[in-house]
Structure 1
Amino acid sequence: MLKMMLVTARDRVRLTEITSVLIRYGLQDIARMLGLTTLRDTLRRDRERTQAQSMPERLRHALEELGPTFVKLGQILATRTDLLDPVWTDELEKLHSQARALPWESLAEQICEDLGAEPEQIFAEFDRTPIAAASMAQIYRARLHSGEAVVVKVLRPGLERTIRADLRLLTFLAGALEEQSSQLARYHPSQIVLGLATALNHELDLTQEASNCEQIARCFADDPQVVIPAIHWAWTSPRLMVQEFVPGMAPESPQQLIDAGLDGHILAREGARAFMEMVLEHRLWHADPHPGNVMALEGNRVGFIDFGMVGRLSERRRNQLLMMLDAIAGRQSEGIVNALIEWSGDEAIDINRFELAAQNFLDKQGSAPMKLGKALADLLAMVREFRLALPPDLALLFKALITADGVLQRLDPGFDIVATLRPMLREVVLRRYRPGGARRRLMALGAQALDAGEELPQTLRLMLRRLKMGKVNADLEIKNIGLLSRALERAAVTLAIAVVTAAFALGITPWLMESGWRIWGIPVFPLFGLLACGTGIFLLALRLRR
């Protein structure tokens, strides 16, 4: 409670604004979680307008109104198809749409400050009408004095203060949700907010995006079929970035490409090869390859733009992904089960049921050429069914693969990405086990063994010293120990009552026997004793049998 009071005092205005928007869109349950339920007037005011919309639609509109932090949160949640049903993720994907452009007067002072002069003094041409506007930035066309066409990306002013306040509030809320509900804790809200903070910190500094773009450009420096825009660092700063203009078109349909004199099949093949090369070889990939960020260029070349969101894979994760993709391509249920168990962490899984679900997943794909996007969507549905949660990097990658496959289908509806992927998988795996790759892994393993060997004597000495002093502690976790404790307690109470009752019975029996009470000539108390003894033997035998 004290922590909530401190958060509220620090960011009261923003918290009230957030709560007001949530209630206005009929999301008062979330407002209640925040601990503010005083804005009921707003709830009554717009009830009719929001009743016609579904809950996912209302959430999307609320996130859009709340600004960049919540738009980015929605975009991250849209990637978590392992946790959320498609009805939610499909709606949240619409958050990629354009935002309302800010007038030039709102940005002019910041642009001049970052460039060090008026734009017309830096560029030969500068169009003050933006060609695109998003929640974080706006983009303008310009031309250098050398004649090269460029685009200028500018962050919206005043973002950082609002985003920092939003992140503080979301961090608190995520922690509170994990403490209050084990059901919601399964979704790892703190982990999601941490990923959101990382993404926003990168997007608040356009030099990060420029660096991502340049790193991927170096990976494809010798590939003429893949175009990555060059960065002009002389005019790039945290709030402004100047990069090469890529003269391509966003792929919408095969007919559009035919009319432009392009070959959809070649474009799909080159796009799939480039994207999978980012993932499998460079382990640095475009995390948002929707049609606006993947361009079809003259000469059947493929261009990638907007590297504000990129994904990175460790070598270990890449190798796990290789095994998974190989299992899907080869229709091997065992490999799928092993990979998902590895990724699910400590979650308990019914293995027999899980193996059956994996085989059903493969049967569902049919014998026709496999569609990677559909296969991954079905796989994530199976993950949701078993209430598992993928690591965030893989959830982001799977969503990017599904999005990329959708773009490839627009380029060529009959494109078989698995056929293109299989030789790449084989080549990466063979490269891993070639002498050079094996030698590198053996050297790394030897270095780890050497480090462990250097620490072993000290560890042994410490353990022996504690053994001599009797200070070795054991921390054991025994499941159902609580049930055992309660059972022993009940048995002890029963035994105590039985002993006390028996003592009183032994004391009173001689007096009762001498009383001589009879019914129809039969001694009463010996008869009752015989019945009680028989009943006791019966109950004891029944209890022992159980």
Structure 2
Amino acid sequence: MQHTAFLFLIPILFVFTLVGLSMGAKRLLGIRIGKIRAAIGGTVGVLATMQIIAVMGPSSHRPAMTSVQVGCGVLVTMLFLAVSEVLLPSSVLSDIVRLPGMMRRRVARTRRYAELSAIAMRNGLSPSLRGLARAGAKGSVEGRRHSARQLRMALEEAGATFVKLGQMLSTRYDLLPTEYIEEFSRLHHQATAEPWERVREVLVQELDIDPEKVFADFDREPLAAGSMAQVHRARLAGGQEIAVKVQRPGAELVVERDLDILLRIGRKLEEHTSWAQSLGLCDLINGFAVSLHEELDFRTEARNMTAIATGAVESGATSALRMPQVYEEYSTGRVLTLEWLDGVPLTSIGDALAERDLDGAALAQQLMECVLEQIMLGGVFHADPHPGNVLLLSNGELGLLDFGSVGRLDRTMRSALRDLLLAIHRNDPTALSDALLEVVDRPEQIDERLLERSLGRFMARHLGAGGKPNREIFSELFLLVARHDLTVPPEIAATFRALATVEGTVERLVPDFDIVAQARAFAAARVQDQMSYGRIKASLMEEAISLTSVMRRLPRRVDRISSALEGGRLGVQIRLLADERDRRFLRGLVHDVLLSFIGGIIALVGAVLLSIDSKPTIIGSVSLSQLIGYNMLVISCILVLRVVFSITRSRG
């Protein structure tokens, strides 16, 4: 019976020792390892300990030698983990574990690469990419226009992710030649509708209830179908007419796959082409990926609508367009339920204005003022007000749809943008230069006099007598900015893109609508409004309140400074190591130095103790001092190994 119990305890003792050795070695090395590596390391340590016990002979069974044996086992386990981590890092090991999934993704990516390569070859993109340089690229206009057309057709054929990339690039007047901007502005993508069965699956998954119990009626044929979502008309049980936007099944996986390919292509192009480096292509793609992920979450669109409506109320906007109400209880990340707006998009307006005796000029004025108020006052604006997103409602008003893409401007940026438009209104190149430098990301060195002269020539050409400014003024301005190595922030580029888009929209209502004159007049009116007695008084009161606490402390601080100056006690304090990264580096350095020093001292003391032949002996010929020396040498080796591994990892 005792023999059976002993046999039962052996595996438990083995597992306990294995876990103890692996956990101890991991903590001493200061690394994170997986369960498989920990089990292998612990097994190696146990086997090494057993071998050491066998080599030491009968004297090894005495309790006094246990510390040496365990220490040697820990040392062997640490050595195994350190060497295996250097030769096969945990990141590589985790990749090996995920290898089947990685292979499946690689096969899918390779198949997609083949599709994109075939699309590129069909559209002759190899030569066209050479002309895709920063704004102001050399070459014939006709050649760039032909290349841009080829690239636009290839993007449309490649799918929604690439179409949206082109639409984002169409806002970057400062980066691309005008011909590419014009072509990318025409990008659109219409996909085949998903069958009702798959749409119903998404509705059940997201709403957690059968659609028949939520909707009294649901049109199974979509009103519009894109590559990421499609829109159906429906009616709630209460009788409310609604529009239901449903994300396509698998849309997120398709976007992730294409974004991964885009990033890989971007890195390769930046390595081998100058135009990709000048564009900062990888940064552009990363920013695009962030915005596309937001667009995939329909809750973001709902929040955008709330933000625009709130901004209009708080800013006192007077020209807000009708926006659909969001039914939040029937909306999720993949389903968006909106109020149905009865009307026709401006793309299909035809002769509706004349038939219904509507004033197109008044509607155009209202739309333009609404966008300008969103930009200048609210700070959150619809970034893509194209004719398909603007409805002429049955009651003669205008409605706004699709808030998946919005722009945001902080108060400082809005103020600088207002100053820029006011400078254009006053035809003042000096003020325009100052406002422009507040808007763009300026380099360390810039010739402001040369920039001011260039802006003066620009204003004389476009805003002088006989000049008729239009939306091309924005692309010309961005082209001038690019020549002076200034970079326009994405939010400002989106602002001017929205203004250029809304001009094309209002032209559906009134041909030859002067958007520049409207923007100039709006900026001037806002400045004039700010200069009214009531606004000036309110601004002064706000500033006075914010300065009250500062002014109250100022006399006391001036007195302290003057007293310190008079007594020769005035000094300047400089905080060393204020950055956490510097403190972390210094802590690590001191830690390694101390461990090395302590390990060296322990090894030296251990060597001295081993050289002493003293009494009494406790295990054969091994004295107590020698036993302590052996333990100190083991501890020294553990400390030194920790330092060496730390240095090796930091260099790796």
Please report the TM-score for the alignment, with normalisation by the length of structure 2.
0.60
Corresponding residue to 1:355 among 452, 466, 483 = 452
Q: Does 1:376 align with 2:474?
A: yes
- Separation in 2, partners of 1:353, 1:316: 26
1:354 aligned partner, one-letter code? L
Corresponding residue to 2:365 among 241, 260, 269 = 269
- Separation in 2, partners of 1:445, 1:317: 23
1:461 aligned partner, one-letter code? Q
* Residue of structure 2 in register with 1:242 after alignment: 337
- Separation in 1, partners of 2:329, 2:424: 47
- Once the 2 structures are TM-superposed, how far is the Cα of residue 382 of structure 1 from its aligned partner? 2.5
- Separation in 2, partners of 1:449, 1:137: 57
- Separation in 2, partners of 1:380, 1:329: 18
2:354 aligned partner, one-letter code? I
The correspondence of residues 90-489 of structure 1 with structure 2, limited to 5 A, is 90-175=182-267, 177-178=269-270, 183-220=275-312, 226-252=321-347, 255-342=351-438, 343-346=440-443, 349-365=446-462, 366-367=464-465, 371-422=469-520, 424-429=522-527, 430-431=529-530, 434-440=536-542, 460-462=572-574
- Separation in 2, partners of 1:145, 1:166: 40
Deviations 1:83-137 (A, max 9, x none): 1122212222232343332222332211222233343331222100000112211
Between stretches 323-332 and 86-95, larger displacement belongs to 86-95
The correspondence of residues 525-544 of structure 1 with structure 2, limited to 5 A, is none
Tell me the SS of whatever aligns to 2:220. coil
- Separation in 2, partners of 1:331, 1:375: 13
Corresponding residue to 1:12 among 99, 102, 106 = 106
Q: Do the aligned partners of residues 258 and 225 (structure 1) sit closer, same or farther apart at CA in structure 2, a change above 3 Å counting?
A: farther
Q: Do the aligned partners of residues 174 and 121 (structure 1) sit closer, same or farther apart at CA in structure 2, a change above 3 Å counting?
A: same
* Residue of structure 2 in register with 1:479 after alignment: none
Q: Do the aligned partners of residues 450 and 322 (structure 1) sit closer, same or farther apart at CA in structure 2, a change above 3 Å counting?
A: farther
- Separation in 2, partners of 1:244, 1:188: 41
Tell me the SS of whatever aligns to 2:358. coil
Tell me the SS of whatever aligns to 1:154. strand
Please report the TM-score for the alignment, with normalisation by the length of structure 1.
0.71
Tell me the SS of whatever aligns to 2:404. coil
Higher Cα Rg, which structure: 2
* 5+ long unaligned stretches in structure 2: 1-88, 131-144, 562-568, 579-652
Q: Do the aligned partners of residues 419 and 81 (structure 1) sit closer, same or farther apart at CA in structure 2, a change above 3 Å counting?
A: closer
Determine if contact 2:319/2:369 at 8 Å carries over to the other structure.
no
- Once the 2 structures are TM-superposed, how far is the Cα of residue 12 of structure 1 from its aligned partner? 1.9
* Residue of structure 2 in register with 1:493 after alignment: none
- Once the 2 structures are TM-superposed, how far is the Cα of residue 173 of structure 1 from its aligned partner? 4.5
Tell me the SS of whatever aligns to 1:218. helix
* 5+ long unaligned stretches in structure 1: 34-52, 467-546
Tell me the SS of whatever aligns to 2:388. coil
Percent identity between matched residues is 33
Determine if contact 1:217/1:229 at 8 Å carries over to the other structure.
no
Determine if contact 1:289/1:403 at 8 Å carries over to the other structure.
yes
- Separation in 1, partners of 2:455, 2:363: 33
Q: Do the aligned partners of residues 405 and 99 (structure 1) sit closer, same or farther apart at CA in structure 2, a change above 3 Å counting?
A: same
Aligned length: 442
Determine if contact 2:241/2:340 at 8 Å carries over to the other structure.
yes
1:294 aligned partner, one-letter code? V
- Separation in 1, partners of 2:308, 2:249: 28
- Once the 2 structures are TM-superposed, how far is the Cα of residue 353 of structure 1 from its aligned partner? 4.4
Determine if contact 1:281/1:428 at 8 Å carries over to the other structure.
no
Q: Do the aligned partners of residues 309 and 190 (structure 1) sit closer, same or farther apart at CA in structure 2, a change above 3 Å counting?
A: same
Determine if contact 1:23/1:31 at 8 Å carries over to the other structure.
no
- Separation in 2, partners of 1:251, 1:464: 63
